Amino acid sequence: MTDKTMTPEEAVSRLHSGMTLGIGGWGSRRKPMALVRALLRSEITDLTVVAYGGPDVGMLAAAGKIRKLVAPFATLDSIPLEPHFRAARQRGAFALTEVDEAMFMWGLHAAANRLPFLPVRAGLGSDVMRVNPGLKTVTSPYEDGETFVAMPALRLDAALVHVNRADRLGNGQYLGPDPYFDDLFCEAADHAYLSCERLVDGFADAVPQTLLVKRHSVTGVVETPNGAHFTSCAPDYGRDEPLQKLYATTPWPQFAERFLHGDEKTYQSAVQAWHEEQR
């Protein structure tokens, strides 16, 4: 069977400018940050990013790589407002498709099921309809005759997700309290790149419900220990709150210069060095 393991650089080399890219996790929780950092090191730009936004969105926005964002929010959770997303919006740096959290989920479901849309009640009466003039409604053919928003499929060229464990074939396991929507991101995408804390040889002793991502929806597997840092990756580690705070309060060029000037190993060493300075 196909060994799909690759480096972050190899995964990113398969992406290109102008793509529609889904990013898993939620806010500042289990984001595929090592893959995002590899993306930041690349020449790729002009992206349509589809995400429950966190620092992934903030960093890509700060680096000027987003042409359009599809999202219901961007937040750092413990810091409610994502500063770089915020600054980019306020300078009109990218187009935004702002939808509700549930609409977003149904858009992924529609894409995973190869449907053009799914009906949702959410959105009606809100300014989501005003700021997305392309959104259409659909009327039930049954007796109720109700009208709903026809949430279009959020089909992705590629998805990036991060889980706790994976095998070389692309099966992924989450061990924390919430799967978020990472399986849906993979199923909604033509290609998915799955990073993990640790590669394993199989899941013989696994609790079956933890086996979230199936290999048929995965193109590449990347082992990146601490690869969700500084977002949380329970139970392997929690959010690095001091580093996140530094990210949120440091001008972007300065933060990038200190932490993002080299490869992933350089990043992890820079983080360690910073923490040692704080003691």
Partner 1 sequence: MTTPSTTTRAEYCVIACAEAWRDNGEVLASPMGTIPSIGARLAKRTFSPDLLLTDGEAMIVGLDGATEGWLPYRQHLAMVTGGRRHVMMGASQLDRFGNQNISCIGDWARPDRQLLGVRGAPVNTLNNPVSYWVPRHSPRVFVPKVDMISGVGYDSAAAAGPSATRYHRIPRVVTNLGVLDFETGDRTMRLASLHPGVTVAEAEEATGFPLVRPDEVPATREPTPEELRLIREVIDPEGLRDGEVPV
Binding string, 54-73, against partner 1, x = CB under 8 A? -----------------xxx
Residue nearer to partner 1 on the CB measure, 130 or 279: 130
**50 lies in the binding site for partner 1 (CB under 8 A):** no
Q: Cβ neighbours of residue 187 under 8 Å, at least 6 residues apart?
A: 108, 111, 112, 217
**247 lies in the binding site for partner 1 (CB under 8 A):** no
Site for partner 1 in 158-187 (CB under 8 A): 177-181
Among 24, 53, 107, 220, binds partner 1 (CB under 8 A): 53
Burial status of residue 5 (CB atoms within 10 A of its CB: 0-12, 13-18, 19 or more)? middle
**99 lies in the binding site for partner 1 (CB under 8 A):** yes
Q: Which two tokens stand for residue 141?
A: 């053919």
The helix-helix angle for 252-259 and 264-278 (nearest 10°) equals: 110
**85 lies in the binding site for partner 1 (CB under 8 A):** yes
Nearest approach in angstroms of CB 128 to partner 1 is 6
Q: Are 54 and 27 in contact (CB under 8 A)?
A: yes
Among 117, 148, 203, 237, binds partner 1 (CB under 8 A): 148
Residue nearer to partner 1 on the CB measure, 30 or 37: 30
Among 105, 158, 166, 222, binds partner 1 (CB under 8 A): 105
Q: Which of 77, 47, 76, 79 is nearest to 63 (CA)?
A: 47
**26 lies in the binding site for partner 1 (CB under 8 A):** yes
**241 lies in the binding site for partner 1 (CB under 8 A):** no
CA 220 to chain centroid: 16
- The pair phi, psi for residue 231, each rounded to 5°, is -80, 170
Give DSSP secondary structure letters for 201-244. Answer: S--TTS-GGGEEE-GGG-SEEEE-TTTTTTSBBTTTB---HHHH
Nearest approach in angstroms of CB 203 to partner 1 is 20
Nearest approach in angstroms of CB 99 to partner 1 is 7
Q: Are 191 and 219 in contact (CB under 8 A)?
A: yes
Q: How many residues bind partner 1 (CB under 8 A)?
A: 41
Q: Are 80 and 244 in contact (CB under 8 A)?
A: no
Q: How far lies 1's CA from each of 162, 177, 195, 216, in Å? A: 22, 31, 19, 12
Binding string, 106-145, against partner 1, x = CB under 8 A? --------------xxxxxxxxx-xx--------------
Note the residues at the interface with partner 1 (CB under 8 A). 26, 53, 71-75, 80-81, 85-86, 89-92, 98-103, 105, 120-128, 130-131, 146-148, 177-181
